[in-house]
């Protein structure tokens, strides 16, 4: 009887604590991204709902400056009646954006006009704040937080980030740059304009 007790005790004492099995790291989603050879990614998201509306890419001659921001040049014609905003990469040879703006009306987007969309990734990236994102105003100047702009606040930019950072094209470009992501608000309707017409445009430069 004593021997049985000893054997039972030894058997119990040798049992190991249950160990959770290792959870393998998820494999990266391999997706063919049209336009991936270009070095500027341009994305579009709705101003009110933050719904993603697709992307396009542009190839430009990349500058060798050491700045952590994309070198925008802006050409802005205020809409006294009919105006426009153009954004260039460094000089007027590299157009990134061109949109009409109308007072008490609605202008047209002239460039870019064609957008693609891929299936979203399962999770977005942590919001980086000032370290990796900035806001572009009509002068092309890049504004840090907090933005002194009545129509955009940081919560809105966080919502934009949550939307775009799930996209495989964004994750690809973002992983290959140290430059800040630039966000621009396009308002084709001004004066008594309708915010339902407005969109955020997001620019990422792949180095």
Burial class (CB in 10 A: 0-12, 13-18, 19+), 59: exposed
Chain-centroid distance of CA 126 in Å reads 12
**Alpha carbon distance 172, 39 (integer Å):** 11
The domains of the chain are located at 36-205
DSSP conformational letter for 165:
T
188 contacts 102 by C-beta, under 8 angstroms = yes
96 contacts 183 by C-beta, under 8 angstroms = no
164 contacts 170 by C-beta, under 8 angstroms = yes
58 contacts 40 by C-beta, under 8 angstroms = yes
Measured at the alpha carbon of residue 171, what is the angle toward residues 33 and 184, in degrees to the nearest 5?
100
- What are φ and ψ of residue 156, in 5° steps? -65, -40
Tokens of 147: 């933005």
Tokens of 149: 């702009």
The SS3 call for residue 98 is strand
Chain-centroid distance of CA 156 in Å reads 12
Chain-centroid distance of CA 114 in Å reads 18
**Alpha carbon distance 169, 116 (integer Å):** 10
According to the model, what pLDDT value does residue 122 have?
76
102 contacts 38 by C-beta, under 8 angstroms = no
The pLDDT tens digits of the residues spanning 184-206 come to: 999 999 887 899 999 999 999 99
Q: Taking the model in full, what pTM does it have? A: 0.83
Q: pLDDT tens digits for the chain (207 residues)?
A: 444 444 343 343 334 344 444 444 344 445 678 888 899 999 999 999 999 999 999 999 987 778 899 999 999 999 989 999 999 999 999 999 999 999 989 999 999 999 999 888 878 999 998 889 998 989 998 877 656 567 888 899 999 999 999 999 999 999 999 999 999 999 999 887 899 999 999 999 998
202 contacts 42 by C-beta, under 8 angstroms = yes
């Amino acid at each position: 009887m004593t021997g049985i007790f000893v054997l039972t005790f030894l058997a119990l004492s040798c049992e190991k604590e249950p160990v959770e099995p290792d959870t393998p790291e998820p494999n990266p989603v391999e997706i063919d991204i049209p336009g991936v050879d270009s070095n500027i990614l341009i994305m579009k998201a709705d101003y009110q709902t933050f719904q993603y509306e697709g992307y396009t890419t542009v190839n430009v001659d990349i500058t060798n400056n050491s700045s952590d921001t994309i070198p925008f040049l802006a050409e802005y014609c205020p809409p006294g009646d009919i105006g426009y905003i153009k954004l260039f990469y460094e000089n007027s040879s590299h157009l990134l954006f061109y949109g009409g703006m109308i007072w008490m009306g609605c202008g047209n987007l002239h460039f870019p006009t064609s957008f693609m969309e891929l299936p979203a990734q399962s999770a977005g990236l942590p919001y980086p704040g000032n370290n990796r994102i900035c806001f572009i105003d009509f002068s092309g100047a890049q504004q840090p937080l907090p933005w002194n702009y009545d129509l955009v606040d940081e919560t809105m930019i966080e919502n934009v980030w949550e939307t775009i950072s799930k996209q495989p094209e964004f994750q690809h470009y973002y992983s290959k740059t140290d430059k800040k992501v630039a966000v621009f608000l396009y308002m084709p309707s001004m004066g008594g304009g309708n915010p339902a017409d407005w969109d955020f445009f997001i620019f990422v430069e792949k180095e």
